[in-house]
């Protein structure tokens, strides 16, 4: 390989010159080196392909007519062997036939120059390719920076997913007395179902819906979940739990972030439930026959909006009697639109839960929701919880 050392300057190119004429090689090498470029030479097409793999040039000047492998075949082989990285190939020919130029361009060349080469024209073309090479380097640098950013973001998202998943699963989310599903509109859900039992056996269920979507909404659930599990384990009253959750969210989240929540505490020994609804759709209590016998409406703003002094943790209470079930859901479920823009709606939900029966309610509603959405993605997270209300009796 013949190489000329050049002045290292910004924008200089590594140029491969392939020509079987020693005089042409010498003239082009001298001219290009004087322009500040690094020059690699080859005397035939096969050697040019080998030097191309070794040197990875920014530009190739290729004579069309050479012994053995000509410039057209060498161009075709270079394109095949190098693959993705783009570099311009300029064919040089003393034969002034348009068909030759077309043949070369079809083989993968980017430009064509007649011989003898006009050095002013060559310099102008190289300057143009130089600008393209600079843009290409900038794009590659940006692509690499973006890739690193995406890798970092993926690691952060994975950490967040593990953290949130561990928080949700540390309680009794698999409690046999309930079924639940959350359908996120993105990888991360702003809806959450948290379940835990206090030391005296009371079942605590939280359905939360954080403002926003995706990772930001999901991360904003963390303070509330930490309070929920910590205080339920200590057996503290629901009003204290709610006040602490509100204060924690109010202090730690930005002013435009909050969490709508419906919290229920079920005491099977007495058949009594406590509930608090701040900004969520009404909970629905069904009889054993599937009739709606009571609703748990929203009487409060979501958690995290009001300061501690203005927050009202007063809860409702009700005795459910002989059984049935309690169904909670987020607004994303009833507001989910099909391709025609029709929302799923409360009426459809009520019909489905009244006819679903037992533990099939959740699967039945989700199946109908997915049929309703069709090929359309949900715009908001959708969630549903069904809690079996057995007859009062010993704790289970």
Kindly state the percentage of the chain with pLDDT values over 90. 48
Query: Where are the domain boundaries for CATH 3.40.50.2300 in the chain?
Result: 2-141
Query: Could you read off the pLDDT of 210-257 as tens digits, one per residue?
Result: 987 777 788 888 889 989 999 999 999 999 999 999 999 999 988 889
Query: Where are the domain boundaries for CATH 3.60.40.10 in the chain?
Result: 170-388
CATH 3.20.10.10 is the classification of domain 170-388: no
Query: Could you read off the pLDDT of 310-331 as tens digits, one per residue?
Result: 999 999 999 988 778 899 999 9
Q: Is 219 within 8 Å of 292 (Cβ atoms)?
A: no
Question: What's the mean per-residue pLDDT of the chain?
Answer: 85
What gap in Å lies between CA 17 and CA 32, rounded to an integer?
Answer: 10
CA distances from 336 to 206, 209, 294, 341 (A): 22, 15, 24, 9
User: Which pLDDT does position 166 carry in this prediction?
Assistant: 67
Give the helix/strand (H/E) hosting 16: strand 14-18
| SS3 of residue 45 by DSSP | helix
| SS3 of residue 60 by DSSP | strand
Residue of higher predicted confidence among 3 and 57 = 57
Annotation: CATH topology of 2-141: Rossmann fold (3.40.50)
What gap in Å lies between CA 218 and CA 214, rounded to an integer?
Answer: 6
């Amino acid at each position: 390989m013949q190489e000329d050392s050049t002045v290292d300057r910004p924008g200089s190119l590594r140029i491969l010159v392939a020509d079987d004429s020693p005089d042409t090689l010498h003239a082009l090498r001298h001219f290009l080196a004087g322009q500040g470029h690094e020059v690699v030479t080859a005397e035939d097409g096969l050697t040019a392909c080998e030097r191309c793999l070794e040197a990875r040039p920014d530009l190739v000047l290729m004579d069309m007519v050479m012994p053995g492998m000509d410039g057209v075949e060498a161009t075709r082989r270079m394109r095949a062997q190098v693959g993705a990285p783009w570099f311009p190939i300029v064919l040089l020919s003393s034969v002034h036939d348009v068909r030759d130029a077309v043949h070369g361009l079809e083989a993968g060349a980017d430009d064509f120059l007649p011989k003898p080469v006009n050095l002013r024209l060559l310099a102008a073309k190289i300057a143009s390719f130089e600008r393209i090479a600079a843009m290409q380097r900038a794009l590659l640098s940006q692509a690499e920076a973006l890739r690193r950013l995406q890798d970092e973001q993926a690691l952060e998202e994975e950490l967040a997913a593990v953290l949130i998943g561990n928080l949700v699963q540390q309680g009794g989310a698999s409690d046999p007395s309930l079924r639940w599903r959350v359908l996120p509109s993105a990888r991360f859900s702003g809806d959450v179902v948290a379940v835990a039992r206090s030391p005296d056996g009371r079942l605590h269920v939280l359905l939360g819906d954080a403002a926003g979507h995706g990772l930001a909404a999901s991360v904003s659930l963390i303070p509330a979940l930490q309070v929920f599990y910590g205080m339920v384990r200590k057996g503290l009253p629901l009003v204290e739990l709610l006040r602490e959750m509100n204060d924690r969210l109010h202090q730690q989240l930005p002013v435009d972030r909050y969490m709508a929540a419906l919290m229920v505490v079920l005491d099977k020994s007495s058949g009594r439930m406590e509930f608090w609804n701040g900004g969520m759709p009404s909970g629905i209590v069904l009889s054993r026959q599937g009739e709606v016998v009571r609703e748990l409406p929203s009487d409060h703003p979501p958690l995290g909006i009001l300061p501690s002094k203005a927050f009202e943790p007063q809860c409702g209470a009700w005795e459910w009697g002989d059984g049935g079930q309690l169904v909670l859901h987020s607004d994303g479920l009833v507001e989910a639109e099909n391709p025609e823009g029709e929302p799923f709606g409360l009426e459809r939900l009520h019909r489905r839960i009244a006819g679903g029966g037992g533990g099939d309610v959740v699967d039945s509603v989700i199946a109908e929701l997915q049929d309703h959405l069709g090929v359309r993605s949900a715009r908001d997270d959708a969630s549903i919880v069904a809690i079996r209300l057995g007859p009062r009796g010993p704790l289970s």
